[in-house]
Amino acid sequence: MSDLSIQDRSGEKNLVLRRTLVAFIVVMFMTSVLLWRMFNLQLIQHEVFETLSLNNRVQGQDIAPTRGLIYDRNGNLLAENLPSHNLSLVMERVVDLDLTLSQLRELIEITDNQEKRFRNRLRKPRRPYEPVPVKFKLTAEEIATLAVNTYFLDGVEVEASLIRQYPHGASFAHVLGYVGRINEQELRKVDPEAYAGTGFIGKIGIEKTYEKQLLGKVGYRTIETNARGRILRVLEEEPPEPGVDLHLHLDLELQKLAEKELEGKRGAIVAMDTTTGGILAFVSTPSFDPNLFVTGISNKDYSKLRDSLDVPFLNRVARGLYPPASTLKPFLGLGGLQSGATTWEKEINDTGLFFLENHERPFRDWKVGGHGDKVDLVAAVVESCDTYFYDLAVNMTLEPMHEILDQFGFGKVTSVDVHNAKAGINPTREWKRKRHGYSWFAGDSVNLGIGQGYMLASPLQVTIATAVLANKGIWKAPKLLMHSSSETLNKIRSEKPMDIILDDPSHWDKMHEALRLVVHGPKGTARATGIGAPFQMAGKTGTAQVKSLAQDEEYDAEAIEERYRDHAWFSGFAPFENPKIAVTVFVENGEHGSWMAPIARRLFENWLLRTEVMADSGKEPDSFNLEVSELLAKTEGTDHANH
Amino acid sequence: MPIIDSVRSLPGLDLQRRQSRATRLHLDLPLLFLLITLCGFGLVILYSASGGNIFMVQRQLIRFGVAFLGMFIIAQFDPRVFQRWGLTVYILVLMLLIAVLVAGKKSMGAQRWLDLPLLPAFQPSEIMKLALPIMIAWYLSRKTLPPGRLQLVVAMIAVVIPVGLIIKQPDLGTSLLIMASGVFVIFLAGIGWRWIIGAGVAVTALVPILWMFVMREYQKQRVLTLFNPDSDKLGAGWNINQSKIAIGSGGFQGKGYMEGTQSQLDFLPESHTDFIIAVLAEEFGFLGVLVLIAIYLALTARGLVISVKARDSFGRLLAGSVTLTFFIYVFVNIGMVSGILPVVGVPLPLVSYGGTSIVTLLGGFGLLMSVATHQKI
């Protein structure tokens, strides 16, 4: 390099110097770009990022309130909350969902259906880091397997939560209903904030009626989490308020007994405390296990229940509508007396046929040849004479019949807290014109006279009417709830219809006596039931004709034939002198109302003997036998006296 | 040059005597002072970024020790030694780069490491960061500057070959830095402005070709993410979103040492390596960023001062290139973490946790000190 001239060297030096200067200017420029960027992020946009940073680490979390418990009248648990371990995924932490799911399936059993429902849940909106359940009610073995392996599986969590449990399963399914995962439709109707913690809502039954009270108030806490959603500390907490505990009038023992009586049958039993209006038993068979619905029933199980010809989903007590048939006669009889269409003294000649003007075919009495030439109202009730009531109906005309049935609660909902009870049909002229397009014919009145035709009522309504009759017109609001842990709820006065006042109150006693003779009289339709009873009962049988049946070709002839048999009713109260309980037994295609009466008697007995003892709590259990025998002696005495 | 004069006295205090004693040890005191400050600052941030992991800090400290020793040794050689061996080393490293592609160790989808017997595993591309500017500086300073056309073409080819080999590994960040180190030499050597403009146009034209044929899917994704980080908040955009949140939420004063929620609660990915400045920005705020950038700027300025005061063109070109490449490190890293550049794997020099870059970076400063302290011919 010694051959380079000095000039070249200094020229070179200046060249590099100039370039270095250019480079330094560029460096300064680039530095200012960086500084401006930092200035912009840290000072100008600071608040935006401050908020984002806060949102990152601070999560609001809802704390589910404990759902109120449901007890029967004696404090037996009917609905409780049991801890359940669920497998959930925190989607924010799951890297590859398909991979994670297949890894989980290697560890524990996850059915295709469970995965499908999990994927459905995924589509619903949720809060950040909110675990999405995959499988509920893990077994101890599954919990252990997952505990060992979840460390390697990002986003997999086993969390404990309280799950609604119905210890008596199918026994109370129709009355209590059940809770289930809240769906989008329901979410639109309720305050989503109130349900943020639980995700469960009462779907039907008591669970639905008292949903607001049972739910409780959601709690809230703000927590600090790290990027993996792990909770580091609780910053703030507002504890949840547990839901209201409900004590129902229902009696576990009576309910179980009623359920046993209806085993294998399609039917309903309702028992009511006539002194309070409290519903003691509420059984509809066949039933289903409500526990299946809590965490989501499988499609297979659901369609099996849904498609069953026995319709287990039908709440026959409150939503099964049937012709009340002869059970309606006492009420119509009272209506006839009140309107002056008949008297206790009036007698008719029953030939077994009733002819109506301009009507070709005669109306038949159930008894071929009739009940004789001297049938008065008592005989007509005791022997369930149809002809008497055909005649009464024609004399009464529709309006007074509708009026008295309305007063007894037919054609409307009078129960306070039975979920989704049906009103049934207490027909009027206007109703028929609207519904069928025809005017009311005299023949329609004749049919109504024996509780057939357009008349439809639920077993619950028949029971309520019987209870009102037992109370001689005094209404007690029909109710499931006895009391609760909420003072405000306890203070709510239930609305009830006006009491029935007859011009001559002695009609009540006479009608009671007629109903007593149904069970205890020598000609009563349920006379077999009364034999040897430790107390006196009153009641009315009913046999309803089955007019139409949904065609279903899949069922064999015998099954169809069975389903054309008459529906059977018995509705009554006891003890006769001082009514305490009203019971209705209804069995679809049960053929004869008289066959239902023994069932009612067993319920009466169970309730009365138990409450007699309980009412006198000072006595020792030893005195129970004495009590019963005393009672027996007393009732037998009165029985004789009345014969 | 008033600016340069002021920079020369920047770290301070005219301690001619001390400097001369240091010169005998071939140390540049201002550089040394700034480097120690930077490394110390870096260790403090690393302790927080690693979540209080003292072992990580210790390992980084040991690396610093080794790298400072390397720097000291390199500084003892006269620049002429590098000049003499430049071409040989360059060719040797080129062969190693080919070896990497043939027999390199694969890790995380890339093939960057070479595990030769008797030697610890290393990345030949790191050596190229120093070997390339030495070679180009040697080549261009053989003749009078500015370089002729033929020289330029040869120099460019010499740049493109290693860059191409490293892109294939793939290692976009390193290849860009190496290209920069070569291009800076050519630029400082006085390449005509027409060439520069022409190259600019050519690069612009090359972009679509690169996009379609050279860049891999993940690299494209990173570029796309830059323009729309919100498009995929949990995927590719996550890193950049979280680092912006960390920086922005730091504000003017920061959240306090070890108090950064973004970094301490693991929202910030790569917080102790490439994204470490986000930790600084979150915990020390804009003030901390200012201090750090000031240190970098001072180092750059001191390097450029050494460059202009160098004994000969080789020293000037080499020192200038090493300094500017160092600055590019800083710019690319802070640019990508703050979301104005695509995410390429470039660490924050001497602050990010990691071995190889520390050694080559301080090796570069060793070259600067060598140039600075070998003034007599």
Cβ pair B101, B168 in contact under 8 A? yes
With an 8 Å Cβ cutoff, are A16 and B313 in contact?
yes
Chain A residue with CA closest to B294: the answer is A31
Q: How many domains does chain B have?
A: 1
pLDDT digits (tens, 9 = 90+) for A332-354: 999 999 999 999 999 999 998 99
Lowest mean pLDDT among A285-294, A400-409, B189-198: B189-198
Distance CA A316, CA A267 (A): 7
pLDDT of residue A253: 96
Residue A494, sorted as left (phi over 0), alpha (psi -120 to 50) or beta, turns out to be beta
pLDDT of residue A552: 46
CATH homologous superfamily of A252-285+318-477+502-642 equals DD-peptidase/beta-lactamase superfamily (3.40.710.10)
Instruction: Name, in order, each residue with C-beta under 8 angstroms of A153's C-beta and a sequence gap of 6 or more.
Output: A100, A103, A104
Chosen for mutation from B313, B317, B337 (greatest number of chain A CBs closer than 10 Å) is B313
Which helix H or strand E contains A607, and what residues bound it?
helix A597-615
Chain B residue with CA closest to A32: the answer is B293
Nearest to A20 among B144, B247, B308 (CB): B308
Number of Cβ within 10 Å of residue A643's Cβ equals 9
The Cα of B85 is separated from the nearest Cα of chain A by a number of Å equal to: 17
B238 touches chain A (CB under 8 A): no
A226 touches chain B (CB under 8 A): yes
Strands A279-285 and A267-273: antiparallel
The whole-number average pLDDT for the span B120-133 is 89
Q: How confident is the model at residue A34 (pLDDT cuts 50, 70, 90)?
A: very high
> What residues of chain A lie within 8 A of the CB of B285, using their CB?
42
- Omega before B162 cis (within 30°)? no
With an 8 Å Cβ cutoff, are B189 and A48 in contact?
no
A154 touches chain B (CB under 8 A): no
pLDDT of residue B361: 94
Q: What is the residue extent of each domain of chain A?
A: 78-214, 252-285+318-477+502-642
With an 8 Å Cβ cutoff, are B293 and A35 in contact?
yes
Backbone angles phi and psi of A591, in degrees to 5: 70, -60
Chain B residue with CA closest to A93: the answer is B234
With an 8 Å Cβ cutoff, are A41 and B316 in contact?
no
Q: Helix, strand, or coil here: A374?
A: strand
Q: How confident is the model at residue A199 (pLDDT cuts 50, 70, 90)?
A: confident
Query: What are the DSSP E strand ranges found in A415-487?
Result: 481-484
> Which residue in the list A326, A339, A458, A594 is annotated as catalytic?
A326
Amino acid at A562: E
Q: How confident is the model at residue A176 (pLDDT cuts 50, 70, 90)?
A: very high
Q: How confident is the model at residue A560 (pLDDT cuts 50, 70, 90)?
A: low
Backbone angles phi and psi of A177, in degrees to 5: 75, -150
Chosen for mutation from B240, B249, B321 (greatest number of chain A CBs closer than 10 Å) is B249
ipTM: 0.90
Distance CA B45, CA B289 (A): 12
Distance CA A41, CA A339 (A): 90
With an 8 Å Cβ cutoff, are A41 and B247 in contact?
yes
Nearest to A41 among B244, B297, B324 (CB): B244
Distance CA A257, CA A609 (A): 14
Q: Where would I find the H helices in A177-328?
A: 184-189, 205-209, 211-215, 252-261, 291-294, 299-307
Cβ pair B227, B343 in contact under 8 A? no
Q: What is the DSSP letter of A229?
A: -
B300 touches chain A (CB under 8 A): yes
Q: Label residue B56 exposed, middle or buried (CB < 10 Å: 0-12, 13-18, 19+).
A: middle
Chosen for mutation from A41, A52, A59 (greatest number of chain B CBs closer than 10 Å) is A41
User: Does A326 participate in catalysis according to the annotation?
Assistant: yes
Token digits of residue A427: 């027909």
Cβ pair A502, A610 in contact under 8 A? no
Same CATH topology for A78-214 and A252-285+318-477+502-642: the answer is no
Chosen for mutation from A7, A36, A49, A154 (greatest number of chain B CBs closer than 10 Å) is A49
What CATH number labels A78-214? 3.90.1310.10
Backbone angles phi and psi of A589, in degrees to 5: 55, 35
The Cα of B173 is separated from the nearest Cα of chain A by a number of Å equal to: 18
Angle at A522 between CA A520 and CA A524, to 5 degrees: 65
The whole-number average pLDDT for the span A381-407 is 94
Chain A residue with CA closest to B290: the answer is A35
pLDDT digits (tens, 9 = 90+) for A433-469: 999 988 999 899 999 999 999 999 999 999 999 999 9
Q: Helix, strand, or coil here: A579?
A: coil
> What residues of chain B lie within 8 A of the CB of A31, using their CB?
293, 297, 331
Nearest to A53 among B184, B262, B293 (CB): B262
pLDDT digits (tens, 9 = 90+) for A493-528: 888 999 999 999 999 999 999 999 999 999 999 999
The Cα of A19 is separated from the nearest Cα of chain B by a number of Å equal to: 5
Q: How confident is the model at residue A557 (pLDDT cuts 50, 70, 90)?
A: low
Residue numbers of B between 193 and 232 with CB closer than 8 Å to A: none
Distance CA B81, CA B77 (A): 7
pLDDT of residue A538: 96
Token digits of residue A307: 């498609």
With an 8 Å Cβ cutoff, are A23 and B312 in contact?
no
Cβ pair A31, B297 in contact under 8 A? yes
A56 touches chain B (CB under 8 A): yes
Distance CA B79, CA B312 (A): 10
**Does residue A19 carry a pLDDT above 80?**
yes
> Can you give the C-alpha Rg of chain B in angstroms?
21
Nearest to A42 among B190, B252, B339 (CB): B252
Q: Helix, strand, or coil here: A69?
A: coil
The whole-number average pLDDT for the span B313-339 is 94
Residue B319, sorted as left (phi over 0), alpha (psi -120 to 50) or beta, turns out to be alpha
pLDDT of residue A260: 96
Q: How confident is the model at residue A637 (pLDDT cuts 50, 70, 90)?
A: very low
